[in-house]
Chain A
Amino acid sequence: DTGVSQDPRHKITKRGQNVTFRCDPISEHNRLYWYRQTLGQGPEFLTYFQNEAQLEKSRLLSDRFSAERPKGSFSTLEIQRTEQGDSAMYLCASSLGRLMNTEAFFGQGTRLTVV
């Protein structure tokens, strides 16, 4: 297994457009997280899944953001009507969440620039 894979690595979009990012987790991992990171800040939690169930979504997250994990494998994060403030690195991570919550492994991220 090659680890967590994110696509695309970079995305430039015009304000008001919709964008979708994909994350492929490590194959046996049942947990999948989405985070957002801006320059000089720590990762900000967006949402996470246990298998196909979305367990939590950040209360700070606009309803323009939506995420899915339809079959408990890959996940997509969609941002509708993008704004300049959405420019950030979007990180995906996966882990094994069972009796002991284990460490998460991160992908390289998708850098979004909204112009």
Chain B
Amino acid sequence: GDSVTQMEGPVTLSEEAFLTINCTYTATGYPSLFWYVQYPGEGLQLLLKATKADDKGSNKGFEATYRKETTSFHLEKGSVQVSDSAVYFCALIATGANSKLTFGKGITLSVRP
């Protein structure tokens, strides 16, 4: 079945550091890929998405590129801020009428001033 694997966490960075959070997936066909973010005390929010190979999703300085050859969708940001501290989830939904949204386990990012 479909699955998403995220790197182990938590991750702690200093402000303005470069961020990479790894995500790989297993799915049939050509899934749509997503990063969701959960800020402390808040609900899940869509951060960015990509729907086909080589697409780059971007939002709030975050980027992720859909790499079909490596089945990956790594999240990057060039300079993190304290306000980026949150839990980040990689997710996919496969093609097909009966596909459901599948999440990775999430990774906690803490950014210190």
Contacts and interface: CB of A to CB of B under 8 A. Distances in A.
Contact of B106 (A42, A95, A103): A42
Interface residues on B, range: 20 to 34
A60 interface: no
B93 interface: yes
Provide the main secondary structure of the chain A interface: strand
A42 B104 contact: yes
B102 to A, nearest CB: 7
Interface in A61-115: 91, 93, 95, 97, 100-109
A48 interface: yes
Contact of B101 (A41, A93, A100): A93
Interface residues on A, range: 20 to 34
B106 A56 contact: no
Given A43-B89, A107-B43, A109-B43, A101 B105 contact: no
Contact of A56 (B45, B49, B100): B100
B46 A41 contact: no
Interface of A: 33, 35, 41-43, 45, 48, 50, 55-56, 91, 93, 95, 97, 100-109
Given A33-B101, A100-B32, A108-B43, 8 more contacts: A42-B106, A45-B101, A56-B98, A91-B43, A101-B32, A104-B46, A105-B46, A106-B36
